[in-house]
Structure formats: structure tokens, C-alpha cells
């Protein structure tokens, strides 16, 4: 007998790495899912126990959760309930489980899961579903190569940022950081999330370094209330970029203040 498993390169949206938390107690399954995600350029974080994942969610942000149903301690449904009720999180949740009964699927969706897949799952379908969930989780924010938002125009191909039509001088890291925030306006991003997305999963970056970069893009891009923006630090968690009520912002005539 002869079987060949074709690995196709999935089409992923450029510059949109996902940070995915996986709750799964079968090591083989965890390795496989993590491998598939990494091949597609995403970051996978595995948790064997529900309580472990919930603790992490108190200090870390993810783009999508992948939950298995049957895990030790808290099962996937209990984790989902707590994510929705206690953590008040609307993070997209995909169930990946061996339970295939209709009432299981219905229960998971009614408790707040966004999608449901029965194992064994297919690689490209899993990635497509995760990307669709992450896209919806970003509430339609711009994921294309060119981001046009307020006075900003960001071109991810040429790696340039224009503010009111004028190029802003940014280092490579500052550019990546700017893109991350401008793609996630209104969303609280943990320090771990920022570090991993901008510097990579294995980089050692101190809090001070991260704060310095954030401070620099705040000044260079004018992400301050004067210009209708706020890039705020959230104590012991991370940062959130908010667009303030446009009517409350002052006229944007102060190019000398920013850039």
C-alpha cells in the first residue's frame, strides 16, 4: 500500500500572524497542530490543562483559542464558560474535539464557541477556519497589505508609513510595532503578544526595550490625545491603541509635534 500526504502551502493573509492558544492533552495532537500553525507562520501556545490556560489568559492576549473537550481538570466547555463569563472575553473560540454528536456541537456553540471541528481535522481546513475566526475577531479591521486609517497610510509591501501624506521615519521594529497596533485598534495586547509578533518567539526583549519602542512610535506617529489617539499602557499587562472621538480631537495642524 502506498500513501502520499501532500503538503500544500496555504494562502495566508500577509503580515497577519496569529497567536493561537491550544488546549489539548494529547501530546501527539498538540505537536501536530503546533507544527501546522508554525508552518503557516503563526505562533502556537499549548496548554494541557484548562486551569493553566485560564491563568495565562489573565496576563496574555491571543487571537484565537483552540479547545479540546476532554482534558484533565476543567474540560473545554468549562473553560469556554469561564472565558465568556468571568474573563468577559469575546476572543474567537474553535472547538477541535473527537466528540461528534449533534448535541455536543450544539452545546459548544450555545456556550459561545464560534466554530466546531471533529477530529481528525484536515490541515488546510483548520488553518482556513482559524484565519476566518481571527479576521472576524478583528471586527473587520484592515488586514490588507495597505492600511488606511485616519491620517495614516501604511504599505506593508514597501514598509512605509505616511502620516498626512508625509513619510514617517521608522526603524524596522518600529514599523512592525506600528502595524501591529494599527491592525488592532481598541484591542488590549499583552506584552508577550507584542514581543512575539514584533521580535519573534525566541527573542529576549526586556520590558524597558519594549516600552522604549512604544514610546518612540507614540511620538513619531502622534498617537496622543492631541491628534485623536491614545496609546495607553495597561499596568502589568500590555498596551492598547485607541482612536478617540474624532470630534474631540484638535485640528491636525501640528505636524511639528509629531514625526
Partner 1 sequence: MVQAEGKEAAAERSRIVVCLDKDLEPIVTRFLGRKRGELPVLRDAVQARDFEKIRRLGHDLKGAGEGFGFADLSAIGAQLERRAHARDGKAITEQIEAMEAYLAAVEVRFS
Can you give the binding site for partner 1, defined by CB under 8 A? 1-5, 7, 26-29, 31-32, 35, 39, 70, 98, 119-123
Containing H/E element for 167?
Answer: strand 166-167
Nearest distance, CB of residue 126 and partner 1, angstroms: 9
CB of 47 or CB of 152, closer to partner 1: 47
Closest CB to partner 1 among 3 and 157?
A: 3
8 Å CB contact between 69 and 76 = yes
* Of 59 and 119, CB closest to partner 1: 119
In the complex, what is the shortest distance from the CB of residue 134 to partner 1, in angstroms, rounded to a whole number?
21
Looking at the Cβ atoms of 45 and 123, the one nearer to partner 1 is 123
Rounded to a whole number of angstroms, the minimum distance from the CB of residue 98 to partner 1 is 5
Q: Return the number of other C-beta atoms located less than 10 Å from residue 126's C-beta.
A: 20
User: C-alpha angle with apex 211: 158 to 173, nearest 5 degrees?
Assistant: 20
- Minimum CB separation of residue 13 from partner 1 in Å reads 22
Give bridge partners of residue 34 from the DSSP assignment. Answer: none
**Alpha carbons 106 and 103: distance in angstroms, whole number:** 5
Least distance in Å: CB of 22 to partner 1? 13
* CA–CA dist 187, 97 (Å, integer): 29
- The residue among 6 and 206 lying less far from partner 1, judged by its C-beta, is 6
What count of Cα atoms within 13 Å lies in the side-chain half-sphere of residue 32? 14
Question: Shortest gap between Cβ of 68 and partner 1 (angstroms)?
Answer: 8
Q: Which are the contacts of 202, defined by CB distance < 8 A and separation ≥ 6?
A: none
Burial 203-219 (b: 16+ CB within 10 A, else e): eebeeeebeebbebbbe
Q: Which is nearer to partner 1, 30 or 190 (CB)?
A: 30
Q: Which residues contact 5 (CB under 8 A, 6 or more apart)?
A: none
Amino acid at each position: 500500500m502506498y500513501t502520499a500526504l501532500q503538503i500544500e502551502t496555504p494562502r495566508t493573509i500577509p503580515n497577519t500572524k496569529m497567536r493561537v492558544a491550544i488546549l489539548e492533552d494529547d501530546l501527539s495532537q498538540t505537536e501536530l497542530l503546533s507544527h501546522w500553525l508554525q508552518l503557516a507562520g503563526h505562533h502556537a501556545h499549548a496548554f494541557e490543562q484548562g486551569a493553566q490556560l485560564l491563568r495565562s489568559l489573565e496576563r496574555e492576549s491571543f487571537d484565537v483559542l483552540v479547545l479540546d473537550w476532554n482534558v484533565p481538570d476543567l474540560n473545554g466547555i468549562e473553560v469556554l464558560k469561564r472565558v465568556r463569563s468571568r474573563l468577559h472575553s469575546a476572543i474567537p473560540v474553535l472547538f477541535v474535539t473527537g466528540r461528534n454528536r449533534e448535541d455536543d456541537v450544539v452545546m459548544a456553540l450555545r456556550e459561545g464557541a464560534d466554530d466546531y471541528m471533529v477530529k481528525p481535522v484536515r490541515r488546510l481546513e483548520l488553518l482556513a477556519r482559524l484565519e476566518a475566526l481571527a479576521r472576524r475577531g478583528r471586527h473587520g479591521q484592515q488586514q490588507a497589505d495597505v492600511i488606511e486609517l485616519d491620517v495614516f497610510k501604511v504599505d506593508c509591501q514597501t514598509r512605509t508609513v505616511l502620516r498626512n501624506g508625509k513619510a514617517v521615519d521608522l526603524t524596522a521594529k518600529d514599523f512592525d510595532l506600528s502595524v501591529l497596533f494599527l491592525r488592532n485598534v481598541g484591542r488590549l495586547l499583552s506584552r508577550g503578544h507584542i514581543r512575539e509578533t514584533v521580535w519573534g518567539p525566541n527573542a529576549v526583549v526586556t520590558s524597558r526595550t519594549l516600552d522604549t519602542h512604544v514610546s518612540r512610535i507614540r511620538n513619531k506617529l502622534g498617537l496622543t490625545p492631541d491628534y485623536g489617539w491614545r496609546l495607553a499602557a495597561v499596568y502589568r499587562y500590555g498596551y492598547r491603541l485607541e482612536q478617540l472621538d474624532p470630534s474631540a480631537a484638535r485640528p491636525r495642524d501640528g505636524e511639528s509635534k509629531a514625526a
